[in-house]
Amino acid sequence: MATNNTNTTIKRRAIDSNGMIGPFYDIYRNRVLERSHAIERPPVKQILGEITCELIDGKTDGSRNILEWINIDDDLRLNILLNTAPRTGVAELAEYYHPMGEYTRFLHFLRPDREYGLSHNYEGFKSIVREVDATHIITSISLGIDVVVVLQLPVKGKIIQNIDVTLRKVRTRLNDPLNDSCFSQDDADALKSITEIKVYSNIPELVAMTSFLEVCQYIDKCKHQHNPFPPTEYTLQPIEQFTGNTDKSHGLYTPLSQRDSGKLEKYLIEMLNYYNKIKYLFEYCKNKGLHKNLQQSLADIEIEWRDLRQCYQNKMEELGKLIASIRAGHNNASEIGQALQHNDQTMFKQKLQEFSKKIKVLYDKMQPIHRTQKGHDTHAALFDAPEKQDDQELKSNLQVTPEKQPRSMNRFNNDNKLDGNQSQLIIEQNNKSNELALSSHSKTHASDSSTASTTAELINILLLGESGVGKSTFINAFVNYLTFGTLEKAQQGKPVVLIPVSFLLTTGDNFEERTVTFGDVDSLNNENFDHPGQSVTQHCKSYVFQLDNIRQKKICIIDTPGFGDTRGLDQDDVNMQHILEYINDLTHINAVCFLLKPNASRVHNFFKTCLAQLLNSLGSTSRQNIIFCFTNARSTFYSPGDAAPLLKSVLKGTGFDDIPFKKENTFCFDNESFRYLTALQNKITFSTDEHSEYKHSWLTSVKESSNFLNYVCTKLKVHTMRVEPQSTEKAQLQIKQMIRPMLEAIRNILRNCIIWDMSTTEKSIELKPIPLFRSTLVCYQCKRDVVRTGGFWMTIDAPHEIQKTCNQCRCAPDQRIEIDYELTYAYVARYSNSNRADEMARLERLLRASAQFTYFLINIARSSKDDPFFMGIVQMISEENDLCQSRNPNEFNLELVKRLRQHMSSYEEYVNSIKPNHDGVKLGNMYKSIQTIHEDPIVRVQMDAVKKTRHNIMKQYTCEFSNLSAS
């Protein structure tokens, strides 16, 4: 064992990129402790610029321990595995779980750009108060790029060789700052065929990128620039060198021997892989939409999984404390072996194995319901123990768990086994870039070019209409009309079913009723056929497909819940808000298509409301993107019929007479020919005359579909969502998303003020929001877990996933609320620059903004009848009262109830003080208030989780189909 005095300067990889020159550092746990002592950045110490760019595949030894391969030192690796050091930046690789083998590649690029550092005689730290766990100070930082890209290659022999050749070219070019060599189109095509990527980096822009080409463009561009990059490395020096403190209690640093470190790391990797494997399988089962018979089994396993997860965290925490104590010289390294062989660790490993068997039982029961197309169990290898402890390669071809799914890994298996007459659903991620543009002289940023590319390649068509008009049927029919030129070809081929079909048909002389069904109900149960009159489509859903004959463009048709729902206008309002929220996350819209019936005797009242809200949200320029389609138009000789003058009258009477309603933006179809096709698939017979009539109908609709697509592609200007004007609708959408984050921020500020007033600890509570992957509720009636943090009892979210209904309970709807993230808590050291006065100022700012937002929602946007913030405070008081009655000691929660009541009164005073002509509720000022509140750190971290959740859910409701060849 080597014992070093902390006078030794230490270099550490900057996995926490928030560090700067000046903060304290805990060398025993490898974490930045304090940001308050950050000082103004000194002059550049030296220009670096040395590039490291390496490439390996998943079969090499380096892939067994990626953190070691990217040269993270032994001590820091242990803390990453123990989770005592933050798993951020490239250290997040510890969270990666996906089979690694011959189809996996790793690219690591590291370029420290420049170094800033303090002089050896700097005296600015002599007066600072040292934190209890602090051993060192960051005295120098190297800024630059640190990135690891994990690439999953397609399972095709020849293309893999081409990809590897091109990857080696990329490595050569990135390694050389002067290399601007060109690449062939074959190289570009090879890189486009990479199916999945995941990026880990100290640069958020890189992490957010969705293609390997984008990553390469960004890195190549930065080779010649000196941008304000985040840190890549810290230089650490002992506090004693700057403070003159001779206290030797912090003067020892005892790194583990290579033998002890290797033994512990081997154990931690084994346990982490076991843990991640079980976590993956549990999420796999949970996200499969289980049959009712298996839901209780999953619920029981979920309870056990929570306990096991907590147990794992406790074991890692125990080992982390031991390692910190050994490094500080308080314990002997021999205790590591004793800890690993302790009965508790052995029993915990057995628990993991037993729990894995239970998951296996549940998985086996699922197989008759979820069978893969290949007919074999693609996840079976996960249940087999590795042949060797140090061999973690899993050779099965697995689906990525949603929790760890990279942004570009948008591949899902079709869980429903389709009949032979149905087209197979193959959802795949295609590279969004058209060309390999690695020139460092390009003026276009990679992310900007990606957006432009997406806008050019993807045609977004928003489909709106009254409930029952046939939007879902229209989508199915439209795709089939584009795919099959004649009815005969459609009968001979495999009809395309993007959305499940169900309708009633009368046949024969006695008008016998037959239910025609075609296609399996989707795993998210988006189509609800159980309640006539209600919108069949429950959630906006995007259907993406590509035809060979439309210049390789992709078409995305967005199906929406219908208006005129029998549940009333309130449900129509809910559906419309959902539609606006959904399209708000799009980059652009090519066309807004209203689907109508010809010869309609009236236009539903909500049509006017829908049109007004949509245009207010999108802006006036979107009026030119509106088109009108009429279904079942065979009876009116493929014309709008009597609906034409009615629609003109409505547009003129509501002030929308500048919306074009002409022959060029009006299209008439007949869905009945597609229904006829599906009826044939259900073995229903028709007469020769009927067949002849539908044959002609099919040909007419094929021609109209082609005209429709040509008009959208060539005549309409793309409406870009990024440049939309300020609008009441967009403001209310943003405010509604901020309600919970603001309320939780208010409650947490009060908690920390109570800790300030009633405790001597120098700690505070931080909110840790967790993004979700499906639409989720929290039920106030169902039992929820309670934890104690920082002296407060807290109720933990118990998310209930929504499909047609809530999966977990049948409680009354008014006892449930939809959430955008799951909230957890951490008790951490308080920043020394925090003070109570600032916290109270933040609290008042949040309360005043809440009052302004409430006034805006009720009186300006008129989108809410009730005060959402007042109701939220009342609910928080109710929760805290329940905790006070059921838990002891409860003095902190009692004080929180008292202060919530006081601030509820203050909030009501703020609301009552707002007058109709108050400047604060004007639209422009409202946007400023939204931006100001969004920048509050507690609100921002929750809003980031909201954004991720919405992104995840949009992925869940996007189905991409393989190329459909027109015939």
Across 699-762, the runs of DSSP E, i.e. the strands, are 719-720
Check residue 243 and report its DSSP letter. Answer: H
pLDDT confidence tier of residue 371, bands split at 50, 70 and 90: very low
pLDDT number for residue 139: 86
Among 181-185, 247-251, 701-705, where is mean pLDDT lowest? Answer: 247-251
Identify the top-confidence range among 203-212, 223-232, 844-853: 844-853
What is the CA angle 446-450-453, rounded to 5? 135
The DSSP symbol for 547 reads B
Q: How many CA atoms lie within 13 A of 697 on its CB side?
A: 24
Categorize the per-residue pLDDT at 335 as very low, low, confident or very high, splitting at 50, 70 and 90.
confident
Arithmetic mean of pLDDT, 825-844: 86
Question: What's the pLDDT band for 379 if we cut at 50, 70, 90?
Answer: very low
pLDDT per residue over 607-641, tens digit each? 888 888 888 888 878 889 999 999 888 888 888 88
Q: Is 673 helix (H, G, I), strand (E, B) or coil?
A: helix
> If pLDDT is split at 50, 70 and 90, which confidence band does 456 have?
low
Q: Are 106 and 58 in contact (CB under 8 A)?
A: yes
Q: Please report which confidence band the pLDDT of residue 458 belongs to, taking 50, 70 and 90 as the band edges.
A: confident
Q: Report the pLDDT averaged over residues 410-439.
A: 29
For residue 236, give the nearest of 78, 366, 118 by alpha carbon. Answer: 118
pLDDT band at residue 738 using 50, 70 and 90 as cut-offs:
very high
Question: Quick check: 743 pLDDT over 60?
Answer: yes
Tens digit of pLDDT for each residue in 96-142?
A: 876 677 788 999 999 988 888 887 667 666 666 666 678 888 888 99
What architecture is domain 457-720?
3-Layer(aba) Sandwich (3.40)
* CA–CA gap between residue 29 and residue 84 (Å, rounded): 6
In which residue are the tokens 């206290």 written?
247
At 951, the amino acid letter reads: H
Judged against a pLDDT cut of 50, whether residue 253 lies above it is answered with yes
How much is the average pLDDT of 293-321? 83
Closest CA to 97 of 348, 323, 269, 238: 269
The overall average pLDDT reported for the chain is 78
Q: What is the band of 872 on the pLDDT scale with cuts at 50, 70, 90? A: very high
DSSP β-ladder status, 763-779 and 719-720: unpaired
The greatest distance separating any two alpha carbons of the chain, rounded to the nearest whole angstrom, comes to: 104
**Half-sphere CA count of 666, side-chain side, radius 13 A:** 18
Residue 150: its pLDDT value, please? 93
Higher pLDDT residue, 421 or 187? 187
3, two tokens: 């014992």
**Residue 48: count of CB within 10 angstroms of its CB:** 17
Q: Report pLDDT for 689.
A: 87
Say which residues have a Cβ less than 8 Å from residue 536's Cβ, sequence separation at least 6: 467, 468, 472, 527, 528, 529, 562
Of 485, 557, 20, the residue nearest 235 (C-alpha): 20
pLDDT on residue 390 = 35
CATH 3.40.50.300 domain locations along the chain:
457-720
Q: For position 812, what pLDDT does the model report? A: 64
Least confident of 130-144, 430-444, 573-587, 797-811: 430-444
Whether the predicted pLDDT of 187 surpasses 50? yes
Nearest CA to 588 out of 619, 562, 613, 633 is that of: 619
The two beta strands, 231-238 and 10-13, are antiparallel
The tokens for 368 are: 């008759």
Q: What local confidence, expressed as pLDDT, does residue 625 receive?
A: 93
Residue 432 near residue 528, CB atoms below 8 Å? no
CA distances from residue 940 to 235, 377, 642 in whole angstroms, order as listed: 31, 43, 52
Taking only the tens place, the pLDDT of each residue in 521-570 is 544 445 444 444 344 566 889 998 876 555 567 899 999 988 876 666 77
Residue 568, token pair as written in the block: 């009333």
- Averaged pLDDT, 577-583: 87
Q: Which of 589, 598, 564 is closest to 667 using CA atoms?
A: 598
- If one compares 781 and 950, the residue with the highest pLDDT of the two is 950
pLDDT band at residue 62 using 50, 70 and 90 as cut-offs: low
pLDDT, tens digit (0-9, with 9 covering 90-100), for 755-780: 999 988 888 999 999 888 777 888 77
Beta strands at 958-960 and 541-546: parallel, antiparallel or unpaired: parallel
pTM to 2 decimal places: 0.54
In whole angstroms, what is the distance from residue 215 CA to residue 421 CA?
42
- Residue of 532 and 259 predicted with greater confidence: 259
Stronger pLDDT, 367 or 715, i.e. the higher one: 715
Query: Which range, of 289-298, 417-426, 627-636, 647-656, averages the lowest pLDDT?
Result: 417-426
Q: Compute how many other C-beta atoms are within 10 angstroms of the C-beta atom of residue 663.
A: 8
Which of the four pLDDT bands, split at 50, 70 and 90, describes residue 882? very high
Query: In this predicted structure, what is the pLDDT of residue 449?
Result: 42
Q: Average pLDDT for residues 852-866, to the nearest whole number?
A: 86
